A = this chain, B = another copy of it.
Amino acid sequence: MITLSSDFGWPYPAAMRGVIAGRSDARIIDITHQFPRGDIHTAAFWLREILPYFPPAVHLGVVDPGVGTERGVIAIEAGDHVLVGPDNGVLRPAALALGDPRKTWDLVEVEAESHTFHGRDVFAPLAARIHDAPGSHPGALPDMEPNPSPVELTFPEPTIQDDLATGEILVVDVFGNAITNLPGSFLEPAFDSSIVVNNERVPAVRTYGAVSSGDRLATVGSHDHIELAVRDGRGADAFDVSRGDAVTIRRD
């Protein structure tokens, strides 16, 4: 199985599907191709949240604002999975979530038809070759060699002191839910009462349905982070926050 993720919108992802289908019998499953263009952090967040729900697979993840520059092409072995993409950190959080990232490999010679679409010309062929290699092992390919220091990417750590948590908005999802880096466990004691988010009091609830349509709420999202939301509305707008903005939450 090969999964595909990118910020390519349409129709570019189809060229990757074709390249893979022409070189491997692997099942192809799309994650999404709607990552915000060039936004490595948002893509890294979602890959970390989504890929662990998959069985062992080769995961192609391409958000690559440095296409055509000197950035490397890597494959990371993590648990029974292999992640393939640019060496810009986008795959690192997912690799840590999938298991011990045992080893990272570099593609030695990058040959591409184009300077602008390595998804089609470099990453997709490599994913197909790794998938079909013995044990889907990148090291089985003659043109891959160990990379001892892949580019790291980490999400900011929150600060929690007693009843005060300080963090930031990691991503805003397609519904406008503002997902923080604050752990759900901080909110749980406040369920069915209220908390103070950036100086405004809002209910802390287990589920959107616990408030009326149009009302604001703080809940624990499916990713186990605290999420600022509006039932049937856009939390990021109502709380006036964007990716990277600071968030403080105070319990009583």
Contact = CB atoms under 8 A, between A and B. Distances in A.
Interface string A81-122: 000000000000000000000000000000001111100110
A220 to B, nearest CB: 7
Contacts of A10: 32, 34, 174
A54 B18 contact: yes
Nearest to A68: B207
B209 A68 contact: yes
B50 A15 contact: yes
A221 B15 CA distance: 14
A37 interface: yes
Interface string A184-221: 00000000000000000000001111100000000111
How big is chain A's contact interface, by range? 35 or more
A208 B50 contact: no
Nearest to A4: B14
Contacts of A15: 49-50, 53, 222
Given A14-B32, A32-B11, A53 B207 contact: no
